[in-house]
Structure 1
Amino acid sequence: MASAVWNKQTVSWALFDWGNSAFATTVMVVFFPVFFKQYWSADVSATESTAWLAFANGGASFVLAVLAPLLGTIGDRGGARLKFLFGFTLLGVVTTAGLAFVHQGEWQLAAILFALGSIGFWGGIIFYDSLLIDVAPRDKLDTVSGFGYSIGYLGGGVLLAINIWMTQKPEFFGLANATEAVKASFVTVAVWWALFAIPIFMNVHERSAPSVRKGPALRESLAELAKTVREVRRYRGVVFFLLSYWMYIDGVNTIQKMAVDYGLAIGLPSSSLVMAILMVQFIGFPAALLFGWIGQRISAIVGIFICIAVYAGVTVYATVLNTATEFFIMAAATGCVQGGIQALSRSYYGSIIPAERSGEFFGFYNMMSKFAAVLGPFLMGATALLTGDSRSAILSIVVLFIGGAAMLVVAARNRGT
């Protein structure tokens, strides 16, 4: 493991995850949704503010889902994945810092900056993921991918802990109140993101690619993308894995997005929910390393199956929990497999795609992850309407894990075809 992970390129690559994960934890999951409701749109109806927040999230996801394969193709054709990564990182850093200067009542501007920051975050991940092929040997993808996710969980958790401390003890940091602390937290995320992005641009070397002129690059990339779509049946193992990934990661995303709302709905205090989120980050650090080892020593497919089984169990358990202690147990179980299923999915996919087209193929991979936020909520909503029971609605998510596992079996049998 040491020879594969502890070198300048892999550590520099992983540190990018350490940095940008702060946006996912502090901004996306914890502070922005609460601050948007309670500060920026405090004078707006709950319905209207919810709609704008949904538009910001949905709009950013849709833009990236549509553009992801094309962006990956352009990056491959021009050998410009690091340049694209820099551009998206700059967009995310600047707009995240900009949130600190949005005044109360300016909820439209806050929503727009958040959407742009999300595009910077998710757009950068397309090229960050594709660089895994450049920094890791093919036989060490599981280890390096797991290392990246583990570092990301730790980095995001460390800054989130500091930011929570800032809001609880603002005077210690020379801040007037919790409101100023939240605004300062947005700046710390931007600085953290930018600082830990520096090593990847200094030390990671993208493999050589054919040199193309800027004019023809877009036309050639569009033609190459169209060709890939037409010939996708040649990559049967890839197709079946993407279908499997779309199903089980939809279940994962649904649980992540609904967990806090569900906890509030059953009367749990918000402080307990925030601490549970923080706990997931620190459990995810060693767990992702462990699953990287499982993928390397046993099989990435076996590791993914273990994660799917745990997620299915967590979903069933969620239907009977009633206390904060039980919620913490659910969060701990989720933390054990959340990083693992992400890391092994990425490394397994990287092992079955053509290396020279990793940007393009990871574009498809990230497109699936963006569209993997539709079926789960639809299942929950439809089940809730039919049964009138929110616990039955959550249970319906198990269908996604069962379907994903079944399709994963087909993908494994078709690997290399």
Structure 2
Amino acid sequence: MKDTRKGIISWALYDWGNSAFATTVMAGFFPIFFSAYWSGGADSVTTTFYLGLANSIASLVIALLAPVLGAIADHGSYRKRLLVFFAFLGAVMTAGLWFVRSGQWVLAICFYIAATIGFSGGNTFYDSLLPSVASEKKIDYVSGLGYSLGYIGGGLLFLLNVLMYLMPETFGLPGDDGGATAIRVSFFMVAIWWAVFTIPLMLFVKEPERKEGGLGMGESIRTGLKELAVTFREIKTLKTVGIFLLAYWCYIDGVDTIIRMAVDYGTALGFPASSLIVALLITQFVAFPAALAYSWFGKLIGIRRALLVAIGAYGVISVMGFFMMKEIHFYILACLIGLFQGGIQALSRSYYTRLIPSSRSAQFFGFFNMLGKFAAIVGPLLMSLTTVITGDNRYGILSLVILFVIGGVMLTKVDEEEGRKSVAIFESRHERHMKGEK
């Protein structure tokens, strides 16, 4: 049953749990710790390159897996089970960072890549459960609620981890190691937090049932791969979906790259770790109300227009990042990112549900996440290579502007009404195919 309070809250609490990885690990402590502890004193250009490479490898793996896993989940009713598998993979690998010692940057990257695969893989199935939790009337609100709880949940744990880092003795941790023990303990706490807040979804969110019943795993794989090939061919009839995915591919690339590389960029500019951490906290707590408010803003001016506003804002943020000189500038950009980050992510997800066949949401969210992750391959590499070629991190952040420009232009070509008509034709054709009709 859709729109139940228990189902919505249980679904959204997964975002509360796994966002700790995005904040404490991905955006916060891993870039700082990688540069100061694991990389063995390498220069900022080198650490930026290796960090970007790690993010790109993780994104490539999940990009290749996402559409196949989505197809399997649609046919075998394995969405929840696969979500739990990837969630606990991510949690275990995050906990493994506790064991990585100074100078072991290769091992740190391996654990990080595996944890990021768990994080991204879990999100594929988390997103695909959204249409079964919320009706179209409430889907924008519920999508925004997930991101909002993610920001506040991840932000609260990150705040605690920051206090541990800044005042380790208060928490019974050694204070003479530069905060290394506090950060390693924080990684372990993220793993526990992520695992615990996966439990409500496991218990109270129902697996969507397929009309023809669930298939076995082997049959699901064979059928899913066949349908994946069919979808690649028939997506030509879903022109609106294709245009949106290309737009999303570009603009979310820039968004994800800024999320993952902002702290490394601030470090390269010489800002102290404490200032970078404060900026991340600002982003989290601004993003909490902003994600909910942006769903209202989308209803006020239209979802597509609201997305275009956010894309334009990110383009401005990239340009401002190029000219950033002082710590106060970093705080201002943190506020701006917080205002638009949750909105662009939540509305992209809910807008996509309006354009795809609901009967195969996991498979189409596989495409959605695949393109998002392929984009996340290009973004960090674009920023990293631009930095290496120019020898200046500022040109790396500036290079992201082109992605927002292309994404915005493509999004203006998306026609939602035409998309609904294409979906109706697609589903009718798919139903005849399943019945063996021509």
Q: TM-score, normalised by structure 2?
A: 0.87
Map of 1:360 onto structure 2: 363
Q: 1:204 corresponds to which residue?
A: 205
Distance (Å, rounded) in 1 between the aligned partners of 2:391 and 2:110: 36
Contact 2:6 2:204 in 1 (8 A): yes
Aligned position for 2:419: 415
Contact in 2 for aligned 1:65/1:367 (Cα 8 Å)? yes
Residues 391 and 46 (structure 1), Cα distance of their counterparts in 2 relative to 1, 3 Å cut? closer
Cα distance, 1:326–1:411 mapped onto 2, change above 3 Å = same
In the superposition, relative to structure 1, how do residues 69 and 162 fare at CA in structure 2: closer, same or farther (>3 Å)? same
CA contact (8 A) 1:288 1:337 kept: yes
Counterpart contact for 1:301–1:412, Cα < 8 Å: no
CA distance in 2, matches of 1:168, 1:238: 47
Alignment CA distance shift 1:57-1:254 (3 Å): closer
Cα RMSD between the aligned structures? 2.7
For 1:25, the equivalent position in structure 2 comes to: 23
Superposition deviation, residue 71 in structure 1: 0.3
SS of residue paired to 2:324: coil
Give the C-alpha shift of residue 389 in structure 1. Answer: 7.2
Change over 3 Å in CA distance of 1:258–1:171 after alignment to 2: closer
Farther off after superposition, 322-331 or 250-259: 250-259
Change (3 A) 1:148 1:5: farther
- 1:189 counterpart letter in structure 2: V
The aligned residue for residue 433 of structure 2 is none
Cα 1:139–1:125 change in 2 (3 A) is: same
Listed one character per residue, the Cα deviations across residues 369-413 of structure 1 (whole Å, up to 9, x for unaligned) are: 111135545665787799887656644433322221221121136
Q: Trace 1:147-166 onto structure 2 (pairs within 5 A).
A: 147-166=145-164
Q: CA deviation at 1:184?
A: 1.2
- 1:268 partner SS: coil
Equivalent position amino acid for 2:199 in 1: I
Q: What per-residue deviation string (whole Å, max 9, x for no partner) do you get for residues 300-352 of structure 1?
A: 11211121121122223233332111221121111100110000000000121
Contact 1:300 1:348 survives alignment (8 Å) = yes
Indicate how the Cα distance of structure 1 residues 176 and 82 shifts in structure 2: closer, same or farther if over 3 A, else same.
Answer: same
Aligned equivalent of 1:188: 189
Q: Any conservation in 2 of the 1:81–1:127 contact (CA below 8 Å)?
A: yes
CA distance in 1, matches of 2:279, 2:395: 23
Counterpart in the other structure of 2:278: 275
Counterpart of 1:108 (choices 106, 126, 130) is 106
Change (3 A) 1:48 1:133: same
Bigger mean CA deviation after superposition, 22-31 or 221-230: 22-31
C-alpha distance in 2 between matches for 1:115 and 1:129: 21
Partner-residue secondary structure (3-state), 1:138: coil
**Match 2:226 to one of 207, 223, 230:** 223
The answer to whether the Cα contact below 8 Å between 2:45 and 2:388 also exists between their aligned partners in 1 is no
Trace 1:304-383 onto structure 2 (pairs within 5 A). 304-376=307-379
Matches of 1:383 and 1:35 in 2, distance apart? Answer: 23
* Residues in 1 aligned to 2:36 and 2:400: alpha-carbon distance in whole angstroms: 31
Tell whether the 8 Å contact from 2:159 to 2:281 is kept in structure 1 after alignment: yes
Paired with 2:389 and 2:173, the residues of 1 have a C-alpha distance of 50
Flag the 1:106–1:355 CA change in 2: closer, same or farther, 3 A: same
Kindly indicate whether the alpha-carbon contact (under 8 Å) linking 1:89 and 1:121 is maintained by their aligned counterparts in 2.
yes
* The 10-residue stretch of structure 1 (174-183 or 51-60) with the greater mean CA deviation from structure 2: 51-60
Deviates further, 207-216 or 149-158:
207-216
Counterpart-to-counterpart distance in 2, 1:103 and 1:269: 22
Matched, 1:260 2:258: no
Contact 2:56 2:380 in 1 (8 A): no
Is the 8 Å Cα contact of residues 44 and 268 (structure 2) preserved in structure 1? no
Higher mean C-alpha deviation, range 335-344 or range 202-211: 202-211
CA contact (8 A) 1:147 1:292 kept: no
Runs of 5+ consecutive residues of structure 2 not aligned to the other structure: 423-438
CA change 1:268–1:168 in 2 (3 A) is closer
1:403 corresponds to which residue?
A: 406
- For 1:361, the aligned partner's letter is F
Gap change, CA 1:337 and 1:54, over 3 Å in 2: closer
Distance 2:165 2:224 in 1: 47
CA contact (8 A) 1:157 1:282 kept: yes
User: Which letter maps to 1:66?
Assistant: L
1:137-148 superposed matches below 5 A: 137-148=135-146
Unpaired runs of at least 5, structure 1: none
**C-alpha separation between the residues in 2 aligned to 1:181 and 1:362?**
37
Q: Which of these residues, 134, 137, 143, is aligned with residue 136 of structure 1?
A: 134
| Distance in 2 between residues matched to 1:340 and 1:186, nearest whole Å | 27
SS at match of 2:354: helix
* 227-236 or 94-103, larger mean C-alpha shift: 94-103
Paired residue secondary structure (2:415) = helix
1:251 to 2:254 alignment: yes
Identity %: 49
Distance change (3 Å), C-alpha of 1:304 and 1:101: same
Deviates more, 1:292-301 or 1:92-101: 292-301
